[in-house]
Structure 1
């Protein structure tokens, strides 16, 4: 399961690192210490927190520079996998994006709750990108 630093979580939630620290100190957001003693947030916990916060108006995170006009960087909050297709739900700041992709794509990209992804929208299709190196099969 992925984990996120305070700065990474702040970027995904569209707030300052100090706001994330305050949420952790007040018990609203669960943080743990990693092996080096740094405070980290479990990806699934961050996804749940992002989804809960999305109910009301929120600040929009900084835009990513890209040639794609409709691009939503965010955190995966739900994945429902069927025999052929998968439904991927992403929380991007105040925006909830839902995409239907193939089961194979979800497995190849190792998309799971708490994973950072970017949804790119072209006409009626939503494509999901993920940074990083894929695990070998």
Structure 2
């Protein structure tokens, strides 16, 4: 079961770490402690919380550079298969699993690897992957 630090959860939710702490203190976002006593957010709980927030915010406003692409999925690369020309990138984002085919050159330019946080931008039949 994946867990995330307060900072990681804040980046995924696009809020400040202090906001994540306040939500946890108010009981809105479940947290546990790791072996060192650090507060950790359960991945499943974080996904549920993100889904609830998305339902509350129909605008889907995002931070970052201006773009005409409205469907943005931030997540962590969990699988990357690269051959001579093309690469397959797998990104779970909340309840969604996004799989994108990109060029090997794009993987190298973005320095993509398993565990790297990215944003997949979906427009029509195309998926654009940005390094977060």
TM over 0.5: yes
Q: 2:127 — aligned with what?
A: 126
The runs of 5 or more residues in structure 1 that have no matched partner are: 34-38, 42-48, 132-137
Deviation at 1:5, TM superposition (A): 4.3
Q: 2:69 — aligned with what?
A: 68
Distance in 1 (CA, whole Å) between partners of 2:117 and 2:92 is 10
Instruction: Answer yes or no: is the 8 Å Cα contact 1:6–1:21 preserved in 2.
Output: no
The DSSP-based 3-state class of the residue aligned with 1:114 is: coil
2:48 pairs with 1:58: yes
Aligned-pair Cα RMSD in Å:
3.5
2:7 pairs with 1:7: yes
Distance in 2 (CA, whole Å) between partners of 1:40 and 1:79 is 30
Instruction: Answer yes or no: is the 8 Å Cα contact 2:77–2:118 preserved in 1.
Output: yes
Q: 2:97 — aligned with what?
A: 96
Say which one has the larger Rg. Answer: 2
Instruction: Answer yes or no: is the 8 Å Cα contact 2:31–2:39 preserved in 1.
Output: no
Q: Deviations over 1:91-125 (max 9, x none)?
A: 11111100000111111101111111111112211
Deviation at 1:10, TM superposition (A): 5.0
Instruction: Answer yes or no: is the 8 Å Cα contact 1:12–1:75 preserved in 2.
Output: no
Distance in 2 (CA, whole Å) between partners of 1:40 and 1:106 is 33
The runs of 5 or more residues in structure 2 that have no matched partner are: 15-19, 55-59
Residues 74 and 32 (structure 1), Cα distance of their counterparts in 2 relative to 1, 3 Å cut: farther
Distance in 2 (CA, whole Å) between partners of 1:107 and 1:20 is 37
Distance in 2 (CA, whole Å) between partners of 1:9 and 1:20 is 12
